[in-house]
Amino acid sequence: MGPLPRTLELFYDVLSPYSWLCFEVLCRYQKIWNVKLQLQPTLIAGIMKDSGNKPPALLPRKGQYLKSELSLLKHHFQVPIKFPKDFFSVIIDKGEENRMHVGNQVESRAARNQRARKEGLSRLREATGSEQGSLSAMRFLTAVNMETPEMLEKVSRELWMRVWSRDEDISEPQSILAAAEKAGLSAEQAQGLLGMISTAEVKKRLMEVTEVACKYGAFGLPVTVAHVDGQTHMLFGSDRMELLAYLLGEKWMGPVPPALNARL
């Protein structure tokens, strides 16, 4: 009997584009590194609330940076990310606009930033449906994980394709059903899973996974928890995959490993 494969848990939310980058890299490497990958659908809003953190894009200059950086990372990672038009304009551009309207009034930069953050927050809530954002989508993925875990990777990817590539909704029932069917579930299966998202069991499970991420120390997503040689390492972000390879004693070959390149 060979050694047991090392286990990696990926805590993610489809609202997070960096979660998508991390997800694709781990899906690509799981066989190359012989690791067991456990996908853990998590609610990013719950992580932010519990840790007291704020979404990075709410700081205008970080938001601008994320947009330009993601346009470089999409090529480097070969993941078809496109910044949603409204999401960004709601958070950043509107903030800029409001600042210009202040005109000649004297307002300190700190006060301006404070106000922009507050405005951004309330607009984020409106834009994502009363703070619900990815709640239905992540409950749906939780149901998929409970009922047909072998489909979780594909359904997750189709939800990211909607929100972070084609700028499509992921909160309405028909949006979620469309992603599920595109991933290969039958209309019947998809409807059945959608029916589960309002059950106490699914709600509880998503809350529990989110709490587990918090216990590991999460203050954002993605979070990768590596169980290696009896040790547990929590890594934050999509940019710690080289460090993960180092911890696993495996080779890092960039976000698109050559073995995969040959197959593309």
Question: Binding residues for its own copies, per CB under 8 A?
Answer: 49-53, 59-62, 64-65, 68-69, 72-73, 75-76, 109-110, 113-114, 117, 217-219, 233-237, 239-240, 242-243, 246-247, 252, 254
Nearest CA-CA partner of 24 in 238, 234, 258:
238
Q: Which residue number, 127 or 234, has a Cβ lying nearer to its own copies?
A: 234
Q: Which residue number, 149 or 254, has a Cβ lying nearer to its own copies?
A: 254
Query: Which tokens belong to 103?
Result: 């005109």
Using CA atoms, how far apart are residues 81 and 74, in angstroms rounded to an integer? Answer: 6
DSSP 3-state of 130: coil
Classify 124 in phi/psi space as left (phi over 0), alpha (psi -120 to 50) or beta.
alpha
Q: 9 forms bridges with which residues in the sheet?
A: 38, 225
Smallest distance from the beta carbon of 52 to its own copies, in angstroms?
Answer: 3
Smallest distance from the beta carbon of 253 to its own copies, in angstroms?
Answer: 10
Query: What is the distance in angstroms between the CA of the first residue and the CA of the last residue of the chain?
Result: 33
Q: Which residue number, 193 or 235, has a Cβ lying nearer to its own copies?
A: 235
Smallest distance from the beta carbon of 120 to its own copies, in angstroms?
Answer: 11
Using CA atoms, how far apart are residues 257 and 264, in angstroms rounded to an integer? Answer: 11
Q: Which residue number, 193 or 223, has a Cβ lying nearer to its own copies?
A: 223
Smallest distance from the beta carbon of 214 to its own copies, in angstroms?
Answer: 8
Query: Which tokens belong to 76?
Result: 């480097």
Q: Which residue number, 177 or 253, has a Cβ lying nearer to its own copies?
A: 253
Q: 231 forms bridges with which residues in the sheet?
A: 228
Smallest distance from the beta carbon of 59 to its own copies, in angstroms?
Answer: 6
Calculate ∠ Cα 112-92-101, nearest 5°.
50
